[in-house]
Chain A
Amino acid sequence: MPDALLMDRMFQRIMRGLVDTGTAPHYAELARTLGLSIEEARQTLHDVMRAYPIGWLHPETDYIASFPPLNNLPTQYRVTVRGEQRWFAQCGFEATSVTWLFPGETVRIDAPCLDCGDAVTVEMRDGRLTWVDPPGVVGHLNYGFGASRGKNFFL
């Protein structure tokens, strides 16, 4: 039976690690921080990812690939805060939620348009849109939500 408190603590360490450094910690690093054995940490990581199925490990590994709204694996959605581009959003939709990880800061999202390659830029602060370029930027869901749609919805 997974330990809910421990899972909360590991979740926070992962999210805080991503926010602070731009990369997710490895389970062996989490083990030391949380006072677990290496194997306990690996198992707990899997418990956390099962409880947070909108993220995922890289297939056949214990490496965190995606931990939304941020991604450990680079995507086209580059996130800049305080002039530093350290982060990537999981997708264009999750990009609009990164603002909640950086309270009081301007969060800038830069991505190439998948049609033409020209820039799409969005800035947000505490959940509010403060700059959008070009003004007609839209979100688009290509496959629909739900496993029955056949493709990963974040694509």
Chain B
Amino acid sequence: MNLFRSEEHARRWPAFQARAEEGFISLGDLAGFFGTESRRHMLDPDYLSTWFPRRGAERAAYFERIGKSTPFWLGTPDP
């Protein structure tokens, strides 16, 4: 999960995986993905018990919203 100067830079990275052509995400979408409600409570005293468990559902919903609902992004098994 890295930041590159551009998509072309990522493709030139020697470790770039062929399947990871679908692995690009804009910085704006990334900030949104990591800015869902639970993320805003990491300093709360009940973060681990109350907020962290909500993270998975938030992530899935966000990915659906931005059109990244493939197994690669959702972490689900390939069909």
Contacts and interface: CB of A to CB of B under 8 A. Distances in A.
Interface string B1-25: 1111111011011011101100111
Interface of A: 4-5, 7-9, 11-12, 15-16, 19, 48, 51-52, 69, 77, 91-97, 99-101, 109, 111, 113-116, 118, 120, 122, 124, 127-129, 132, 134, 136-149, 153-155
Contacts, number: 173
A142 B31 contact: no
Contacts of B13: 114-115
B34 A140 contact: no
B43 interface: yes
* Chain A interface, >50% SS class: mixed
Given A100-B39, A127-B31, A144 B23 contact: yes
Interface size grouping (class) on chain B:
35 or more
